Structure 1
């Protein structure tokens, strides 16, 4: 990695950590150079990297200012910022919305493109989910849950589909840890995964799409009911 990219990463981390909140100015070029023990030219190139992603903007005569994450144009920094926000519930809801858009379509394709090996792998991960749910093993449940969805996306037969979700890995794991710690959510998830698998095994695209859509809707409902606004 070029040194300028490394400095850009460091500055981005400082932005995400809140050292330089949105709307505030970055330290002057010389100050950043001293902080990171690099030349001003390296800092200048690092700032260009951040500008290219609209993470920062130049205000002539005033300095370099931090933009809000919703203005950023690069996916990885946005995901890093979302992962670091205290508003975990809101982030998880948005993640479910994104998943719903992609995974319902993936399930529809997978219904006619899945192989016997795909079905066997889905059954295996579903068994792991059942076992983990019964044992109250949240970590194992999350891993099996995510693995199930990864198989569905691969079974879509479209190589672009799994790549669409690859950058969301960290958020997906954290979001599922948050919800899967609740026994009722684990039970709901197992039931919906069973419906998705049954539809895929039947080779019915519309049934598979609806089953995955129902699963996403249940996931959103569970998040709101048990995590965002739990009722004692």
Structure 2
């Protein structure tokens, strides 16, 4: 009872708190896509809540299309590509590499696809629009990545890595490009923390950033496009090979 009271003392209603717990369980793989949640009575007992409160919690997840209700059969988990709210997808993508959950892993891969669509074009534009200051900043950030990798400083590596990509997007000369990724800032940081902790991934990232910088220096749009495309492909391969598969 004290736990319930503690939850109620916070701003979040108990039904929302239960919805958060169920979403976490889904992301962590306890309830994989296509499977049913436990019966309403079981969940209500597990969370020390009334059936009415439990129904409100499920309604939250249903409104985000995380789950669907089949009358007379139960509540089933949808695949992540059916989810319609950004926050659950951000949480799933951020947790995917850490937990190995199917939902999180799938969304992490989709995020890389989205990045590839935007960042490849941004690099192509940046090849002809970048300034000498942009190139100098990119070189400095690449040096920071090398130094952080050598020191095993994942946090600094992530900071420099994300900043490198932000400079490329800004150097595209299109103000809309950097804004496209603003909602994913927290997700990108958390995801990079998980992947960049792997030494081989850091090594691969440095090599591809070197190629991107060389292409931008050369002012060749096609070469810059290929370099960034190769980097995104390598990022997807590294996520699958070094993070998702080992933790499954």
TM-score by length of 2: 0.69
Alpha-carbon distance in 1 for matches of 2:116, 2:38: 37
Counterpart of 2:211 in structure 1 is 195
1:150-165 alignment runs, 5 A limit: 150-156=166-172, 157=174, 158=176, 159-163=178-182, 165=184
- 1:41-60 to structure 2, matched below 5 A, reads 42-60=53-71
Distance 2:24 2:243 in 1: 28
CA distance in 2, matches of 1:222, 1:12: 26
Gaps of 5+ in 1: none
Aligned counterparts, 1:55-204, within 5 A: 55-82=66-93, 83=96, 84-85=99-100, 95-156=111-172, 157=174, 158=176, 159-163=178-182, 165-166=184-185, 168-169=187-188, 170-178=190-198, 181-182=199-200, 185-204=201-220
Separation in structure 2 between the aligned mates of residue 126 and residue 51 of structure 1, nearest angstrom: 44
Structure 2 portions without partners, runs of 5+: 1-10
Alignment deviations for residues 41-83 of structure 1 (CA, whole Å, 9 cap, x no partner)? x543332221122211111123323334344333442443351
Normalised to the residue count of structure 1, the TM-score between the two structures is: 0.73
SS of the residue aligned with 2:69?
strand
Decide which of 15, 19, 23 is 2:26's aligned counterpart: 15
Say how many residue pairs are matched: 225
Provide the alpha-carbon RMSD of the alignment: 3.7
- How far did 1:19 drift? 4.5
Aligned to 1:35: 47
- Name the CA distance, whole Å, in 1 between partners of 2:224 and 2:31: 46
Q: Which residue of 2 aligns with 1:24?
A: 36
